[in-house]
Chains A and B, each alone.
Chain A
Amino acid sequence: MDFLNAIILLLNYIFIPALTYGSQLALGAIFVTLIYGILRFANFATGDMMSFGTMVTILFTWYFQSIGISLGVLPTALIAIPFAILFMIIYMLFIDKFVFKYYRVNKSPPVQLAMVSIGVMFVTQAVVRIIIGPSDQRFFDGEKFIIKAREFKEMTGLNEGLALKSTQVLTIFVTIVLVSLLFWFLNKTKTGKSMKAYSDNEDLALLSGIDPKKIVMITWIIAGILATIGGALYGLDKSFKPFTYFNNMLPIFAAAIVGGIGNPFGAFLGGYVIAFSEIFLTYAYKKFFMYILPESMEPESLVQLLSTDYKFAVSFSILVIVLLYRPSGIFKGKVL
């Protein structure tokens, strides 16, 4: 029984939150990696583009709520997301046409493009804050829990409860569907394969008749989809605040690089690597040991490797270690 309790404890406090957080990071990391692989620059506007997508989702959600459309137990935001994606794609293509295209055509060095993306970051951040303000926005509605901790305890008779939030299940489910679709697209369709070719060797791809304009456009469209869904899922699960989204850019970068930048599958796994290590290293295991060890050996301290204050620092340290020993990432990067 104690053993079961210990497992439920880990599931509830480590496994499910980490899986959710990892999914959210993974979507962002794939976004970063796609832009890096095909457009060849580190996009510092990542976090703010995600917050822009989320903002549009929130505005649509509020609109739908005001005219009385809802999905019952599911959050209304799910209807709003497709509209937001459409809007976001237009925004991405607009930015590309007026900002990034010039430097791409002139074959500017990647550093210059990264600097330009900082300009985009400032502008996007300003637009988001001017439209929706800098404060917290909650836009979740519908059923909050699938299983409540108390119900679970009553059901199983265990000491430890297992709470399963609907947003957690939603996040994991949507991520798996979206990522599978994306990998199918990249590996099986002609356009996807030409994207890989373009990322691998631009000159050869051009020689074999691949249209770069189309590739770039599709990249931005996919990026728009990923940014909106990733951002909206994070916002549903936690809450929407422009500053948090800007900060999330850092673990997302870490995930993309740990997985091998330019490699979408690596980025996908990188998200989970970062999320799990953050939560594993900062969780206090005292209760866990109380369950599995005999009473005489119970630990007195919290048995916490690092205090939760260092959550972010963990992912950054992992990044530094990876950069030192395997700069191309765990899964060889640089190729789509």
Chain B
Amino acid sequence: MRKNLNVIAAYSIMMALIILVGIFQSWNVALSIFNLCLISAVMTMGANIQWGYAGLINFGIMGYTALGGLAAVLISVDPVQEAWRAGGFDILMCLWLIIAMVFAIRFILKNFEKSKFRTYGIAAIIVAGIVIIRITAEPGIEAIEGVNPAKTGFLGGFGLPIIFSWIVGAFFAGGLAFIVGKVALGLRADYLAIATLLISEIVIAIIKHEDWLTRGVKNVIGLKRPAPYEVDLQTTEWFINLVEKFNSGKLALISNLADRQAALNQMVIEGSTVFVKLCYSGLFLIVVIILLILTQKALYSPWGRMMRAIRDNEEAANAMGKNVVKQHLLIFILGSAIVGIAGAMLVTQDGLFTPGSYRPMRYTFLIWVMVIVGGSGNNFGAILGGFAVWFLWIEAAPIALFLINFFTAGMADTHALKVHLIESVPYFRYLMMGLGLLLIMRYRPKGILPEKIEIK
């Protein structure tokens, strides 16, 4: 108990802050912060597995998040039959071509000695393959994008419940991580960082511009939900009764019957949004807890010890007969898969998929700030980092506004400097993140909750 005092204290403060937001701003805001904190926590856990356990630097978090989001679209949206009829055949042909290409390359890699000839042969196959695929796909893509472009213009998905996408998202992200890992994992740490960052940009470029698959920057809106809709709730008997019961004290004070009904209606509307958010919170909390248990178990298992050994001294671990390359690839895939889950969760919560919104600042660097601030190598630290940094990211604007008003209290409201500062309030969040990161790196380089290894 004593040992974990700082963990408990840190989490209590965090929860208290969110509750304070609930009391002073509104429960709606507090819950949306809480939900995004949970999603951030999942992303941070993914990055933490790679960085904290194995020392692998992955600046491609944005790409895996987006792939998770894509999974949510492909799983939940109903298939667009007309588009399938129009161009589905061409697309399937291309899929076969890609598979054939991969097998051809594998065949060459296996059966021929490494030589210049082989390298050029593979390059030729890839170039020819791309040209053939483009020629085959073009009419199909055009036909698909021509089908009712304002509403669909893409193939749609499988029409399954969106919750499945959380698993599929993990597989998508893991699959990408397998390819990236095969390509880039041998590189030195800072090269790996740059390579993953750029690969994630390529992924985003593809998602943004392949309209037949993702609708691109036209966005996919109105995705299915795992939680009830507010409008349905507001007319449901048991929900109204629940709200009435919950607020019976307040309602009893209003004597006029019409007023009382109006007040109840207002409460039901407010209550329904809060209830929906609570549903999401519950789902996300389950994911976080499952992942936490798994990652904690892994950390203290022989496998976790081996990972730390590899992280701390690669050569020694290699000499002990551990397959460093294989383990690196494995952990890279696992971490990215977790980030993929978070990406699917994010799209599930928003109910829309906006490829244009994936930017490295928000989805890569911010997550890294969370990992570093929270404490790399410590799962509780990673989750706390996700919570604390996201909380600050959202609440930075009000805090900055307060500080500006405080320091410029002597100036007239029309003073140019004051007006300018108040206009630029949204950008103070970057300042706070940067300063926070720099201060933590300098004075507490292991994060708020540092990694501690107990030998049991």
Contact = CB atoms under 8 A, between A and B. Distances in A.
Given A120-B438, A129-B424, 12 more contacts: A110-B189, A112-B445, A118-B365, A118-B437, A121-B434, A122-B433, A122-B434, A126-B430, A127-B431, A316-B199, A320-B183, A323-B195
Contacts of B365: 44, 118, 121-122
Contacts of B57: 111
Contact of A313 (B189, B197, B206, B421): B206
Interface string B420-444: 0101100111110111011001100
A317 B368 contact: no
Contacts of B424: 129-130, 133
A149 to B, nearest CB: 30
Contacts of B199: 316, 320
Given A118-B365, A130-B431, A310 B193 contact: no
B202 A317 contact: yes
Nearest to B186: A327
B195 A309 contact: no
Q: Which of B57, B194, B199, B441 has the most CB of A within 10 A?
A: B194
A74 interface: no
B279 interface: no
Interface in B37-91: 57
Interface in B348-389: 361, 365, 368-369, 372
B187 interface: yes
A129 B369 CA distance: 20
Q: How large is the interface on B (under 10, 10 to 19, 20 to 34, 35 or more residues)?
A: 35 or more
Contacts of B445: 112
Contacts of A111: 57, 189-190, 193
A305 to B, nearest CB: 9
A130 B428 contact: yes
A119 B438 contact: yes
B205 interface: yes
Contact of A115 (B187, B209, B372, B428): B372
A319 B195 contact: yes
A134 interface: yes
Give the top 8 A-B pairs by smallest Cβ distance, nearest first.
A122-B434, A123-B434, A126-B431, A126-B430, A119-B437, A129-B427, A119-B438, A316-B198
Given A42-B193, A119-B434, A246-B361, A323 B209 contact: no
A246 B208 CA distance: 19
A86 interface: no
Interface stretch (A64-72, A170-178, A250-258): A250-258
B229 interface: no
Nearest to B424: A130
Contacts of A313: 201-202, 205-206
Contacts of B430: 122-123, 125-126, 129
A285 to B, nearest CB: 14
A171 B57 CA distance: 36
Interface of B: 57, 119, 183-184, 187, 189-191, 193-195, 197-199, 201-202, 205-206, 208-209, 361, 365, 368-369, 372, 421, 423-424, 427-431, 433-435, 437-438, 441-442, 445
Contacts of A125: 361, 427, 430, 434
A102 interface: yes
Interface string A80-102: 00000000000000000001001
B191 A327 contact: yes
A114 B194 CA distance: 10
Contacts of B191: 257, 323, 327
A212 to B, nearest CB: 21
A123 B428 CA distance: 9
Contacts of B198: 250, 253-254, 316, 319-320
Nearest to A110: B190
A46 B376 CA distance: 25
A248 to B, nearest CB: 12
Nearest to A132: B424
19 contacts: A42-B194, A109-B189, A111-B193, A114-B193, A115-B372, A115-B441, A118-B437, A119-B434, A119-B437, A119-B441, A122-B437, A123-B430, A250-B197, A250-B198, A250-B201, A257-B191, A320-B184, A323-B183, A323-B184
Nearest to A323: B195
Contact of B208 (A112, A309, A323): A309
Nearest to A315: B198
A126 B205 contact: no
